[in-house]
Amino acid sequence: MTHAAPGQVAERPEDVETAGTIQAARQEAIDHRWWVLGILSLLMGFASISTDLYLPAMPAMGQALGASPGLVEWTVSGYLIGFSFGQLFWGPVSDRHGRRLPVALGLVLFILGSAGCAVAGSGATLIGWRILQAAGASAGVVLSRAMVRDLYAGHRAVQMLSTLITVMAIAPLLGPIVGGQILLLGGWRAIFWTLVGVGMLTLAAVPSLPETLAPAYRNHEPLTRALLRYGELLKQPRLLGYAGAGGFFYGGMFAYVAGTPFAYITYHHVPARLYGLLFALGIVGIMATNTVNSRLAARVGGDRLLVLGAIQAALSGLLVAGAAWTGQGGLWGLVVPLFLFASTTGFIVANSIAGALNGFPERAGAVSALVGAMQYGSGILGSGLVGAFADGTPWPMGWVIALSGVGSLLCTRLVHARPGKTTSAPRHTLS
């Protein structure tokens, strides 16, 4: 029997055991900090790795498969479809069964999908395999964010997410460059076989991660009921504000991902092997702003940094549209405002995710999944619109990015709305 001092509530043995489990998981993460950080960063980077590596090969893929540029751009949209719906599935599954098992199952699907892409014989088949590949990759992305929230709260969660995003930015920084070299040496199919290898190595490393969701905090309601609860989350204005700010921005970022290979390589005649260097400029900006965000989060506040980032996204997006429409400044007239737009990732992504997760710590998996699905769902729309309106110029990419930046800024107004009621008790977290 546990005794308490007068005026105190006695701790139940199961509460003490759960707190000990959480502390043990955090201590394990601290003891193997760089290893755990590396794996979580890799898992968060699967969305980027799966696309950025083959960006320089998109024109060559279209020629080899007899597919139009618009159809090849839809391989990005197809990936985002699988990625969005996959997150909605993995979130509740992880809240019920823990984090590590769903990550492992997702990696198996990713490996199968990547192998299918490598042997695809048509553009339509490639899109189908990309959907499966994305459904698997989404498990690692959504659950790595949830694992951070299992262990940290408040500005500390923002700092950790910013650190992870900074580290994982190495992948898209090097992805197009490495992809261009693989394309040169082995052709575009070799790029997808490389992804198979990355997936297998990551799968082998998963057992070394700590399980961050204690059994006492798992949601044992039926999966169908858990999926229906997404409707309850969508009634929360602040959650919609965070998800919308990140979602609109992702729409612009994936318009950037789908549109720049043709804007740079086809329209401005940049050699494919040099495309990665231009793409890397944006990644450097992302890493820089994530570093700044991590250092300012405690002092300035995540919500304020989110708004400042959205203002920059709106203004730079309008500059992109102007450059794409007029052609003013040629290649660099487009590259510079795109750099400014991409750089706002450091202020928008981590703060929007952490803000949403902090409101519902007891359902971190589901909230992470919902926010991610809305973000990448907007990416489907953004990249899809670029493909649908492709006319051989950067203009379709430009106006999509401009609308995305303005939409992100408007959504930040909801962040200051009064939060809705929640029925779950707050969960013990570590700061």
Q: Which pair of tokens denotes residue 294?
A: 């991590």
> Alpha-carbon distance 86 to 88, whole Å?
5
- How far is 62 from 66, CA to CA, in rounded Å? 6
Percent of the chain having pLDDT more than 70?
83
Mean pLDDT calculated for residue range 310-319: 96
**Which amino acid belongs to residue 7?**
G
pLDDT score of 378 more than 50: yes
Mean pLDDT, range 362-366, rounded to an integer: 71
CATH at 267: 1.20.1250.20
In a domain, 4, yes or no: no
Task: Looking at the structure, tell me whether residues 204 and 228 fall in a common domain.
Answer: no
Note whether residue 20 is domain-resident.
no
342 with 275, same domain? yes
Q: 241 in a domain, yes or no?
A: yes
Go through 96-127 and write b for each residue having 16 or more CB atoms within 10 A of its CB, e for each that does not.
bbbbbebbbbbbebbbbbbbbbbebeebeebb
Residue 349 placed within a domain:
yes
Tell me: do 270 and 355 sit in the same domain: yes
- pLDDT, one tens digit per residue, over 217-245 is 777 777 677 677 778 788 888 889 999 99
Same-domain pairing of 189 and 263? no
Domain boundary among the residues 161, 183, 208 is at: 208
Integer-rounded Cα Rg, in Å, for the chain is 21
Kindly state whether residues 247 and 199 are assigned to the same domain: no
Read off the pLDDT of each residue in 346-374 and give the average, rounded to a whole number: 80
Asked, for residue 12, whether it belongs to a domain, the answer is no
* pLDDT tens-digit map of 96-125: 778 888 889 999 999 999 999 999 988 899
**How far apart (Å, rounded) are the C-alpha atoms in residues 309 and 297?**
13
- pLDDT digit string (tens) for 127-175? 999 999 999 998 888 788 777 777 776 666 677 777 776 666 666 667 7
Average pLDDT of the residues in 61-80: 84
Nearest to 348 by CA among 425, 426, 277, 415: 415
* Residues 374, 244 contacting (CB under 8 angstroms): yes
pTM as predicted? 0.67
**Rounded CA gap, 348 and 339, in Å?**
15
Q: What is the pLDDT of residues 29-58, one digit of tens each?
A: 555 566 777 788 778 777 778 888 888 888
Mean pLDDT of the chain: 81
Q: Which of 180, 208, 236 is the last residue in one of the domains?
A: 208
Any domain includes 426 = no
Residues 87 and 185 in one domain: yes
Of the candidates 350, 86, 385, 390, the one whose C-alpha atom is nearest the C-alpha of residue 252 is: 385
Residue 66's nearest CA partner among 144, 139, 123 is 123
Instruction: Evaluate whether 339 touches 280 at the Cβ level (below 8 Å).
Output: no
Does residue 213 form part of some domain?
no
Instruction: Identify whether residues 142 and 288 lie together within a single domain.
Output: no
How high is the pLDDT of residue 4? 45
> What pLDDT does residue 307 have?
94
The yes-or-no verdict on residue 73 having pLDDT over 90 is no
| % the chain with pLDDT above 90 | 28
What's the total number of domains in the chain? 2
Structural domain ending residue among the three candidates 163, 178, 208: 208
Does residue 2 sit within a domain? no
Q: Could you tell me if 386 and 266 lie in one domain?
A: yes
Same-domain status, 239 and 196: no
Residues 316 and 283 reside in one and the same domain: yes
Same domain, yes or no, for 263 and 200?
no
236 shares a domain with 98: no
What range defines the domain where residue 95 resides?
A: 28-208
Reading the block at residue 238, the tokens are: 């602040």
